[in-house]
Amino acid sequence: MAILHKALPFKVWMDPRLSRMPGIQPLDPADWLQVDEVYAGQMAEKARLMAADPDRVHALLPQARAAALELMETVIARLPALGFAQLGSVWVCPDGRRVAIDHDAPLLTLGRLVQEDLCILQDGSDGHHVLTGAILCFPASWTLSEKIGRGLPGIHTPVARYDAGVTARVQRLFDAIRPEQPLWRANALDYGDPALHQPRREGEETRRDTTRTGFIRS
């Protein structure tokens, strides 16, 4: 069954600030995490994916463990404002589920709490930030197993518009970002299939279903 929003909270293609790559804007920290109309449906799908094949949707390199624990604590601090209730080391989610905090599996714990996929990028030896951890249940035509351990240029190899100029601008933004001033960007991708879990390896042809109405992923 498709899990669909009735409307998008913003329309990327109508905002001129976002039309030039990389299209990054300041983010109000209060807007970083969301609990919306499809929370229950998305969390059920995430639970199914994590149970079926956790290695397909989760990765954590050893050097990212401390960052993953810090990320978990940062997210946990925001849960009360999102409608979660704490019972000791267990959190009661807006859909009624109970999630125990597991410090041995911080990203998997977060995958059971929030709708958002979460990725960790850290400074690399070549000057580019490297993907060192993620809970990624809803990829838009990429695979975690292929991208983990790569720097930003390597991650974006299939993206034609991600040229040397964009690479330099993105890296400058990553180098200058501060925890107290987060940034955001969004894609607007047209898909014929509404499934949220859509992994695709580099070079793999996109299978377009022309019999279905287009769906926007953003």
Q: Cβ(107)–Cβ(68) under 8 Å?
A: yes
Cα 77 from chain centroid? 19
pLDDT of 116 reads 98
In this prediction the pTM is 0.90
**Separation CA 50–CA 73 (nearest Å):** 21
pLDDT of 174 reads 87
Cis peptide before 22 (omega within 30 of 0): yes
pLDDT of 185 reads 82
23: closest CA among 158, 179, 175, 173? Answer: 173
**Separation CA 69–CA 101 (nearest Å):** 11
Q: What is the DSSP string of 41-107?
A: HHHHHHHHHHHH-HHHHEEE-GGGHHHHHHHHHHHHHHTGGGT-EEETTEEE-TTS-EEE--TTSHH
* Residues in the chain where the model's pLDDT stays below 70: 12-22, 206-213
Farthest CA pair distance, the chain: 50
Q: Name the residue ranges covered by the structural domains of the chain.
A: 12-217
Strand partners, 1: none
pLDDT of 169 reads 86
pLDDT of 17 reads 66
